[in-house]
Amino acid sequence: MNKAVFKILPVALVWLCLFPACKKNDTSDGFDTLIFSDDTSDAAALVSQANEDLNKIKVMYKKNEVQREELIAAMSEKDTEKVKKITDDLVYIINDGIALGEGAVEKISKAQQMNIDADFKEYLSLKEESLRKQLEAFESRRQAVRLLRDSFGTNDPAMVEKAKLGLKEKEEYFMKTMETSKAISKKANELAKESSKKVKD
C-alpha cells in the first residue's frame, strides 16, 4: 500500500497579518497590536479552530501509521483475521479523520461568509476547495479499505483478487485527487504571498 495513503490533511492556513485588512498600531509595548475594522479577527479565530481539527488528524494518523506495514504483511501471509482487524481499525480512523476534516471545512466556509478582505476570502475559498478534494480522496480510501475487509472475510479468492484490483484503482484515484488538491493549495499559498507583499508595500 502506497505511503501516500497515510498522508494527513495539511494545515497551511495563513495568519491574519498577511492580509491588507489588518493594520498595525505601533504604540504597543513590544508587540504589534492589530486593529480590525471588519470581521477579520473572528474569521481568523475560525481558521485557528480549523487548524486545531487538522492537527488532531495529523496526530491520529501518525499514531496509527504502523498499521500500514502490518496490513501489507497480513495480506502477504493471507491472514484473514488480522486483515479484518486492521482494516476495521483503519475504517474507524478514516471515519474520525473525515469527520474532523468536514468540521474544518465548515469552519473555513463560515469564515468566508464574514465581512473580510477580498484576498483573505479568495484564499480561504481555495483552501476549502483543496481540503474538499482531500476529503474526496480519503472517502475513496475508506471505500477501498471496507471492500478489502469484507472480501477477505469471505475467504473467496475471486472476491479477494477483485478487492485487490479495486484497491489499486482507488490508490491511483487517491493519488490523482491529492495532486489536484496540492495544486489548488499551492495557488492559495501564492495568493497569500502576493497579499503579504501588498501589506509590506
CA 186 – CA 180 distance, rounded (Å): 10
For residue 125, which of 136, 111, 140 has the smallest C-alpha distance? 111
Q: Which residues pair with 24 in a beta bridge?
A: 34
Amino acid, single-letter form, for residue 11: V
What is the set of domains in the chain, with CATH numbers? 39-200 (1.20.120.570)
Mean pLDDT, residues 166-195 taken together? 86
The whole-model pTM stands at: 0.73
Instruction: Please report the pLDDT score of residue 32 as a whole number.
Output: 34
Instruction: Please report the pLDDT score of residue 200 as a whole number.
Output: 57
Tell me the HSE value of 57 on the side-chain side, using a 13 A CA sphere: 27
Q: What is the pLDDT of residues 8-66, one digit of tens each?
A: 233 333 334 343 344 444 433 332 333 344 788 888 888 888 888 888 877 776 766 67
In the 8-state DSSP scheme, what is residue 35?
E
Instruction: Please report the pLDDT score of residue 193 as a whole number.
Output: 82
Cα dist. 52→60, 81, 101, 120 in Å? 12, 35, 10, 19
Q: What is the pLDDT of residues 72-126, one digit of tens each?
A: 888 888 888 888 898 888 888 889 889 988 999 999 999 999 988 888 889 899 9
Residue 81: count of CB within 10 angstroms of its CB: 10
CA 42 – CA 47 distance, rounded (Å): 9
Please compute Rg for the chain using Cα positions: 21
